[in-house]
Amino acid sequence: MAGEITIRLDASRYQIPTESDIRRGKSYILQREAMAQALEAQVDIILGDLAEAVVTLCYQYGVDPRTFTLTESYNPELMKKVQALMEQAEDEILSLIDDYATRCTKDRDRMGLLALWIATLGSRNRNLAQVTHDHMYKFIRDLEAAIAALRYARTELARAVTVVRTYLHQIYNIPEVRMAFTRSTVFSAIYIRSRGINPGGVGLSNNGSTNLTNMARLTLQMAWMMSQMMDFREAGAVGYYQLRGSDYKCEVCDEAEGFHLGIPDSTEWPHANCRCYRIPVFVNGETGAPIFSE
Ligand SMILES: [Zn+2]
């Protein structure tokens, strides 16, 4: 963002952040976002491969479009194989999150602390592994809808795989799925019957895949913000100054701009698209303000 930055701080009490402090604060968020994008791309590769494997398996089993569901009761043997693939993908995603979310530091102890903290993150009293599993299960049921619709339309395997990869985050926009909605009562697939509506999915995307990538990105962002607070505290900062890093309209971001006395030992969920950056604030006259790694 261009334009002049106004820092409102009592100069008799606090050291006024320098140009280079501001540059470092900004650069940290840019690095965080680059890492978040890289993580998201990696998660998408895992999900694309999983989708291909599940579609292929279901075609090999010659599933019937009308009675097909991805459940134990439809075909226990097929479901067992799908579950194994799901679990493997969940493990891969969780270790990717750990990897990218702890790249904010080179300190081994810090990495360990962050990894432990990350594992506790989640929502609605579910930890990260459980939330990952919930979203993964939704993704599997999204695939169920796609596979039922594609089988119904007599789509060949190679094309089915391409379609599912292409619409990885928009399963309910696949033309064959839209078509299936018009005859939804013919199907057993839960999200064909509901025409893509997920009751109780308030605040979540309609696609399990998107919930997974959002969760991965937000977890990384939280870990990076947490680690920065640890940096500030260890350096002896008495607070931090927050500035907006983007100019999209956001009251939450506007409100949080300015000086915050104290370094919190946890960090609130940075909401989607928040690029606000933080600069440590030191008491005036304090000697030897430490250097932060760029
Ligand atoms: Zn913000």
243 CA distance to ligand 1 middle (Å): 8
| Four-point Cα dihedral 176, 178, 180, 182, nearest 10 | -140
Report the separation in Å between the CA atom of 68 and the middle of ligand 1, taken as the mean of its atom positions. 45
Whole-number Å distance, alpha carbon 168 to ligand 1 midpoint, is 29
pLDDT of residue 234: 93
Residue ranges in the chain assigned as alpha helix (H): 19-60, 76-101, 108-120, 128-152, 157-166, 175-181, 190-193, 208-235, 251-256
Mean pLDDT of 163-170: 98
Q: What is the pLDDT of residues 198-244, one digit of tens each?
A: 877 677 788 999 999 999 999 999 999 999 999 999 999 999 999 99
- Give the dihedral of Cα atoms 291, 281, 228, 135; nearest 10 deg: -160
- Domain assignment present for residue 104? The answer is yes
Cα 129 to Cα 219: distance, rounded to the nearest angstrom:
12
183 versus 290: which is more confidently predicted?
183
Using the mean position of ligand 1's atoms as its centre, give its distance from the Cα of residue 1 in Å.
Answer: 13
* Residue 59, domain member (yes or no): yes
| Residues with Cβ–ion distance below 5 A, ligand 1 | 253, 274, 276
Residue 293: pLDDT band with limits 50, 70, 90: very low
Asked whether residue 61 is assigned to any structural domain, the reply reads yes
Say what the pLDDT of residue 243 is: 94
For residue 132, being part of any structural domain is answered with: yes
Q: What is the pLDDT of residues 17-64, one digit of tens each?
A: 999 999 999 999 999 999 999 999 999 999 999 999 999 999 999 999
pLDDT at 86 over 70: yes
Answer with the residue of higher pLDDT: 272 or 247.
Answer: 247
Supply the pLDDT for residue 231: 94
Q: What is the pLDDT of residue 294?
A: 45
Considering its fold, how many domains does the chain have in total?
1
What distance in angstroms lies between residue 252's CA and the mean position of ligand 1's atoms?
7
Q: How far is the CA of 28 from the centre of ligand 1 (A)?
A: 14
Confidence class for position 1, pLDDT limits 50, 70, 90 = very low
Cα(106) to ligand 1 centroid in Å equals: 26
In a domain, 10, yes or no: no
**pLDDT of amino acid 248:** 85
Q: Please report whether residue 128 resides in a domain.
A: yes
In a domain? residue 254: no
Residue 51's domain comprises 34-214
Query: Does 224 reside within a domain?
Result: no
